[in-house]
Amino acid sequence: MASDDARTVFHDVIVVGGGFAGVAVTRRLARKGVDVLLVDKNNYHQFQPLLYQVATAQIGTSEVARPLRAIFRRYRRVRVVVDEVTGVDPATKQVTLADGTICRAKALVLAPGASANYFGIDGAREHTYPLYSLDDAIRLGAKMVAHLDDADSPAGMKRTLDLIVIGGGPTGVELAGAVAENVNTAIAAAFSEEFARGIRIKLVDMVPTVLGPFSDKSQAYAREQLQKMGVDLRLGVKVTEVRPDGITLDDGTTLDGDVIVWAGGLKAPQLIADTALPQGKGGRVDVNPDLTAPGFDGVYVLGDSANITDSKGRQLPQLGSVAQQSGKWAARNIVADLTGRARTPFRYLDKGIMAMIGRGAAVAELGPHRRQMQGPIAFLSWLVVHAALLSGVWQRLGAAASWAVSYLTPSRPQIVLGHVDTD
């Protein structure tokens, strides 16, 4: 690293974002001896697929969050900077930090994640709880616990408690199932079965089914299991308005809601929108086959900020496996850039998709040919795969211990929360 003034620093590669893609590209480059500056506004890497379990007290924050400096402590060529990136100039491969520092590099990797896409629905931004970050999960968990305590107070003993989940994709289904699991076990045990029966969970989506990327068989199984657990499915209807106390649907129906969760879609963050990069669906960058941004040589866009296609031109879903694999492939192409070799088009290895519904209930479609599993076998497969994907040994051990308690007993050891601002 060198500098020509106190406010400008130079690196071989700058990586913006410490998510799946950012960690993967940084780790692979570090192993090749490349000088990398990794910038993230948080000092930790979060395992996003398990955030719903933090919100529902099935696991703790230490299982899904691992300090970035701990991940890269053995790599001397990696410098982790905790700061917010306020500006990106892809033409010069330059980023500006909140403290005014300007960072430049030979190659720039943008993987800043995603933000909630509210699709212009009135009140959605103001009155819903998104679930796309660790802070979101903590805030949602605190809100649900606060409502439980309020409903069980002398003034609220006869109140019902209504949770609305907007979005029937994996995040919405897994959250609704986890809350229903808590209601039928932990809450019924800690309060009473009568109190638990007063809690109503509603899942709403504009499409007529849940788990859209899955097969008809998996979708039918998920619907059946959710309904068996007491989740009220409102499918094929669009949310037109969100209020502090509920929502309105396009068929004129209104639903009461004490806590309203947004799991209805993602878009690229404002940082991407503010650049000169060409943007496509969801505000994401339609990257070239080699993962570079069109018109900006040496600028790579990965993860939830990119629309990535496979070798047949089909757009890949916004999955952690796509982000990880694209990060590793981008590192290969960056090394090729630095050594004067040609880049190669990204090739994705399809490992399949999974979703948890509840204790002993999950769906899994494995491999490119989508070998299907439902029920306990898929449930166990889900546990094994997600434990293996966690970032560190202690995270895996902690998650395994928490799952043992959560799924073998009605106890929820993570349910004790201090004061958290939920507004």
**Residue 85 CB neighbour total at 10 angstroms:** 21
Residues 334-353 have pLDDT tens digits of: 999 999 999 999 999 999 99
Rounded CA gap, 96 and 9, in Å?
Answer: 10
Place of tokens 């059946």: 224
Q: Domain check: are 147 and 166 in the same one?
A: yes
Helix (H) or strand (E) holding 3: none
Report the candidate in 285, 282, 310 with the shortest Cα–Cα distance to residue 300: 285
pLDDT of residue 7: 74
For the chain, report the end-to-end CA distance as a whole number of angstroms: 43
- Structural domain range at position 216: 129-266+352-408
* Whether pLDDT at 228 is above 80: yes
Q: Does 214 reside within a domain?
A: yes
Based on the fold, state whether residues 235 and 384 are members of the same structural domain. Answer: yes
In order of 25, 110, 206, 236, 334, the CA distances from 339 in angstroms are 17, 21, 50, 53, 9
Q: Are residues 220 and 320 in the same domain?
A: no
Tokens of 52: 């719903």
Question: Are residue 359 and residue 395 in the same domain, yes or no?
Answer: yes
Q: What is the CATH number of the domain that holds 211?
A: 3.50.50.100
| pLDDT category of residue 419 using cuts at 50, 70 and 90 | very low
How does pLDDT run across 40-60, given as a tens digit for each residue? 999 999 999 999 999 998 999
pLDDT tens-digit map of 300-326: 999 999 999 988 888 999 999 999 999
Going by pLDDT thresholds of 50, 70 and 90, the confidence category of residue 159 is low
Of the three residues 283, 308, 338, the one that is the final residue of a domain is 338
In a domain, 274, yes or no: yes
Cite the DSSP H helix spans in 78-215: 124-127, 134-151, 170-182, 188-190, 193-197
In this structure, are 175 and 226 located in the same domain? yes
Question: Does 293 fall in a domain?
Answer: yes
Tell me: pLDDT of 2 over 80: no
In a domain, 67, yes or no: no
Domain CATH for 87: 3.50.50.60
Catalytic residue of the set 174, 181, 193, 241? 174
Same domain, 149 and 241: yes
* pLDDT(129) > 90: yes
85 phi and psi, to 5 degrees?
-85, 120
Same domain, 228 and 305: no
Q: Is the residue at 52 inside a domain?
A: no
Closest CA to 256 of 242, 273, 274, 240: 242
With contact defined as beta carbons under 8 Å apart, do 264 and 119 qualify? yes
Identify the helix (H) or strand (E) that includes residue 65.
strand 65-67
**Rounded Cα–Cα distance for residues 271 and 86 (Å):** 7
User: Is residue 64 domain-resident?
Assistant: no
CB 391 within 8 A of CB 48: no
Q: For residues 406 and 35, which has the higher predicted lDDT (pLDDT)?
A: 35
DSSP one-letter string for 252-288: S-EEE-SEEEE-S-EE--HHHHTSSS-B-GGG-EE--
pLDDT tier for residue 148 given thresholds of 50, 70 and 90: confident
Contact 66, 72 (CB under 8 A): no
Structural contact between residues 22 and 118, judged by C-beta atoms closer than 8 angstroms: no
77 domain residue, yes or no: no
Residues 192 and 224 in one domain: yes
Q: Are residues 231 and 291 in the same domain?
A: no
Confidence (pLDDT) at 355: 97
List the structure tokens of 30.
């570090």
Residue 422: predicted pLDDT: 60
Is the residue at 2 inside a domain?
Answer: no
Residue where a domain stops, chosen among 304, 338, 372: 338
Residues 100 and 242 occupy one common structural domain: no
> Each residue of 247-291: pLDDT tens digit?
999 999 999 999 999 999 999 999 999 999 999 999 999 999 999
Q: For 202-219, what is the mean pLDDT?
A: 96
Q: Are residues 29 and 170 in the same domain?
A: no
pLDDT, tens digit, for every residue of 163-191?
999 999 999 999 999 999 999 988 888 88
CA angle centred on 58, ends 56 and 60, rounded to 5°:
100
329 CB-contact burial (10 Å; exposed 0-12 / middle 13-18 / buried 19+) = buried
Phi, psi of 18, rounded to the nearest 5 degrees = -105, 35
| Total domain count, the chain | 2
CB-based contacts of 251, cutoff 8 Å, min separation 6? 237
Decide if pLDDT at 418 tops 60: no
Asked about 174 being catalytic, the answer comes back as: yes
* Cβ count near 244 (within 10 Å): 10
* Residue 203 and residue 151 share a domain: yes
Domain closes at, from 338, 366, 381: 338
